[in-house]
């Protein structure tokens, strides 16, 4: 059996970039997430969200905002690892609940 799932909890550390396909059917949003694990050292993950983004979803993904990313690890066209997200939750320490994107 083969199964893969990754869950990251961290902060968006780069300005999200949204690309529209020529047909306007599919959107792609890319950003980097920094995750700290017990130490102060931060591990950076490249994240790609593919799908039809609702109006304003790109505004929720701001640099410095806390995020939980669910997805799988893939290789991009340059042979580097990235997380292909199938679920995102945004939140901040002051917010009582996170906003669900998917």
Q: From CA 64, how far away is CA 72, in angstroms rounded?
A: 23
Structure token digits, residue 81: 């690892």
Q: Is residue 101 part of a domain?
A: no
Q: Is residue 100 part of a domain?
A: no
Q: Is residue 37 part of a domain?
A: yes
Q: What is the pLDDT of residue 74?
A: 93
Q: Is residue 29 part of a domain?
A: yes
Q: Is residue 58 part of a domain?
A: yes
For the stretch 49-66, pLDDT in tens is: 887 666 666 667 888 899
Q: pTM of the full predicted structure?
A: 0.78
Which residues constitute the domain of residue 67?
A: 6-95
Of 81, 76, 75, 12, the residue nearest 42 (C-alpha): 12
Per-residue pLDDT at 86 exceeds 60? yes
Scanning 51-100, the segments in alpha helix (DSSP H) are 57-60
Instruction: Work out how many domains the chain is built from and give that number.
Output: 1
Q: From CA 31, how far away is CA 51, in angstroms rounded?
A: 15
Residue 38 buriedness (CB in 10 A; 0-12 / 13-18 / 19+): exposed
Q: Is residue 57 part of a domain?
A: yes
The CATH number assigned to the domain holding 65 equals: 2.40.50.140
Question: In the chain, pLDDT over 70 holds for what percent of residues?
Answer: 78
Average pLDDT value for residue range 83-97: 73
Q: Is residue 79 part of a domain?
A: yes
The alpha carbon of 49 is separated from its chain's Cα centroid by a whole number of angstroms, namely: 6
Structure token digits, residue 24: 């306007």
For the stretch 20-40, pLDDT in tens is: 777 666 788 899 999 987 777
For the stretch 8-23, pLDDT in tens is: 999 999 999 988 777 6
Q: Is residue 61 part of a domain?
A: yes
């Amino acid at each position: 059996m083969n199964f893969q799932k990754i869950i990251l909890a961290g902060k968006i550390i780069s300005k999200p970039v949204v690309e529209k396909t020529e047909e306007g059917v599919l959107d792609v949003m890319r950003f980097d997430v920094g995750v700290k694990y017990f130490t102060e050292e931060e591990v950076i993950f490249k994240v790609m969200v593919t799908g039809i983004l609702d109006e304003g979803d790109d505004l929720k993904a701001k640099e410095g905002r806390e995020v939980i990313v669910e997805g799988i690890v893939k290789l991009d066209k340059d042979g580097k690892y990235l997380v292909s997200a199938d679920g995102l939750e945004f939140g901040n320490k002051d917010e009582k609940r996170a906003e669900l994107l998917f």
